[in-house]
Structure formats: C-alpha cells, structure tokens
Amino acid sequence: MKKKKNSLMALLVVALIALGTVFHFYQKVMKKNVLKESVVFIPTDCSTEQLANLLTPILKSTQDFIWVAEKKKYLNNIKAGKYQLRKDMNSNELVNLLRSGKQTAIRLTFNNQHNLKSLAGRIGQQIEADSIALLEAFTNPAFLKQHNFNTATALGMYIPNSYEVYWNTSATQFRAKMLKEYKRFWNKTRLSKAKDQKLTPKQVIALASIVQKETAHIKERPVVAGLYLNRFHHNWPLQADPTVIFALKAKNGQDFEVKRVLNKDLKIESPYNTYKYKGIPPGPIAMPDISSINAVLNPTKHNYYYMCASIENLGAHAFASTLRQHNKNAVKYQKWLSNQGVNR
C-alpha cells in the first residue's frame, strides 16, 4: 500500500513538472509580448542580433520572441520590410506576421526636383535604397538607351505624384515602377493631345518644365503654355528666361539665385538658351508638376506672344499680343527691379 502511494506521488510530481513545463512554453508562445502599437523597419540581410536590437524597445521579452522564432525557423529567413505591430500581440502572432512577409506599404511622394541627384536624395529619405544606388539606377546608360531616354531627358520619366511602394524596394525596382507609371501616364488621350500640339511626350515634359519655372500660379499655367505654343507653332524662339538661368547654372556648375536676367546672359552658348535656338530644349530644366504638363496638353487659346512679370500682381504676368505693349510692360518691370535694388 505504501509503495502504491509512493508511486502515485511520483506520478503526480512528474505530471506537475510536465504541466509546469507545458505552461512555461505556452507562456513563451502565447502571452502578450508587444508593449505598444509600433512600426518596425527590418533592413535587407538583417541578422538575428540586429532584429533583437530593433524589437527590444517594444517587447516585454525579446528572449521569448527569439525562442519562438527559432522554433518556427524564421531566423533562417528574416524578411525585410516595414511591419505594423499591434499592441499585445503574442510572440507566435509576431513571428507569423514577420515570417509571412506581409509588410505595410508606404506612401512615397516627390515633386519639383531640380535634377536626378535631388530626386535620388528625396526618394532615399523614404525607402531603404540609398541615394547613391538610386542615382546609379537613374543614370544607368544601358537602361536609358533601352527605353529611349538620355541624360537630358531622363528626369522626365519620373512623374511627380504619390505612389504606394514597399519600404525595402530596391533602386532598380523603384526605377521599374516609375517606368511603368510613366507609360501609364502617357495614355491614348494624352498622346493624342501631344500630337495635336506637334510635340512628343518628352517635348511636352521639357516645355512643361519651362511653364513650371515661369509661374507658380497654377491657374496661369495654361495661359503661359498657350503663349509658348503660339511662339513654337509660328517658328519663333521661345525666349524663356528660365532656360537661360538653367544654362547659366550649368555653365558655372553650381546652383545660385538669379532674380534678374541680363542682356549679356542671353548670349550664353547652350542648347538650352531659347533666345539663341528655336524649338524645344533637349530636356526638362526641372521636374514639372502634373498641372504644368496638363497645361501644355490643354493650353488656353489666345493671341498672346509676349509676357513680362507683373508689378501689380507679384508672381503673375502681364501678357501682350504686340511688341509695343510688351515693351511698355517690360520698361515698367525693369524700373521696378532697379528701384528694388535687384541687379542680378
């Protein structure tokens, strides 16, 4: 009887130990572990140590998470990306989310970039790929040649907007997406409107960049576009000051503010000098907004061939159909500049 009692006690002890062990492991797997709503960015080729460092500030027990992750073989295949974590997720739920690769997309935006370098910097602030890798992708000669771009027209492939992408999108993946978006943007309707203006899509972008630089007033852009198209269709030089400013900056190899274009500036030798050369410049002088592109595709019809910055409505323009009226407007503006002490 005593032996029987001892055996039962031993079995009970074993059972309690087993239950304790099961409960211990159950706790590791199922107890709440995420302390707060969080976003975690897991880099490409992330190590276990890096992952632990990322998660430690938001977990009750990093050790429990690592234990579950090992058991579920997640640590052999850590997936990069941006992940949205719920408060009170347990280690099992967290591992399942990270192992699934179901990351949260980001809303990437860009506009008004001066060149590919500044675009690369802007995108590099928003995704994992750095600006150097992005710029290399943007300027890759083989890619440009394959898709009928060159260093002058390449900026025009990037249509400023907001796009949904994954944070760990690579430089070449981002470039591929932008090419796809460019082709989507240039649908049959826009292509037809470009053809009506006797322009290619690349020429539309180049002219739109001039319109963009010429006026910050969105409502005025179709009027400005119509003026330049009047000149273009009548084989006049565009005579756009922003192209001269672009040429000056390119010649000096630096960015600087030019508030006043001088007569001597109009003689600068550059294919972008629209005072010397007729037609559309070789490429955009900056990144135009969609509003500027649409202005070129949907210009206001009028008889204006001349414009001058307005002194009554700063930032806007005084338009004229005749050179005589334009000269009057120009004299007023030049006097105003001189009175303001603006020499360059």
**pLDDT value at residue 344:** 53
For the stretch 114-158, pLDDT in tens is 999 999 999 999 999 999 999 999 999 999 999 999 999 999 999
Q: Is the pLDDT of residue 313 over 80?
A: no
**pLDDT value at residue 3:** 59
pLDDT above 70 as % of the chain: 88
Task: Please tell me which of 114-118, 246-250, 338-342 the model is most confident about, judged by mean pLDDT.
Answer: 114-118
The mean pLDDT of 260-287, rounded to a whole number, is: 91
Confidence of residue 13 (pLDDT cuts 50, 70, 90): very low
The mean pLDDT of 302-324, rounded to a whole number, is: 87
For the stretch 24-72, pLDDT in tens is 444 555 788 888 999 999 999 999 999 999 999 999 999 999 999 999 9
Show Cβ contacts of residue 283 under 8 Å, excluding neighbours closer than 6 positions: 150, 151, 152, 153, 154, 155, 156, 202, 205, 206
What is the model's pTM?
0.85
**pLDDT value at residue 20:** 45
Whether residue 136 contacts residue 127, with contact meaning beta carbons closer than 8 Å, is answered with no
Contacts 24+ apart (CB under 8 A), 211-217: 211/288, 211/292, 211/295, 211/296, 212/112, 212/286, 212/287, 212/288, 212/289, 212/292, 213/242, 213/245, 213/285, 213/286, 214/240, 214/241, 214/242, 214/317, 215/315, 215/316, 215/317, 216/315, 217/315, 217/316
Confidence of residue 314 (pLDDT cuts 50, 70, 90): confident
For the stretch 180-207, pLDDT in tens is 999 999 999 999 999 999 999 999 999 9
Alpha carbon distance 71, 91 (integer Å): 11
> What's the mean pLDDT when you consider all of the chain?
88
For the stretch 60-115, pLDDT in tens is 999 999 999 999 999 999 999 999 999 989 999 999 999 998 999 999 999 989 99
Looking at the chain, the domain(s) classified CATH 3.30.1490.480 span 31-104
Half-sphere exposure of 62 (CA within 13 A, CB side): 11
**pLDDT value at residue 310:** 81
Confidence of residue 263 (pLDDT cuts 50, 70, 90): confident
According to CATH, the topology of domain 31-104 is Dna Ligase; domain 1 (3.30.1490)
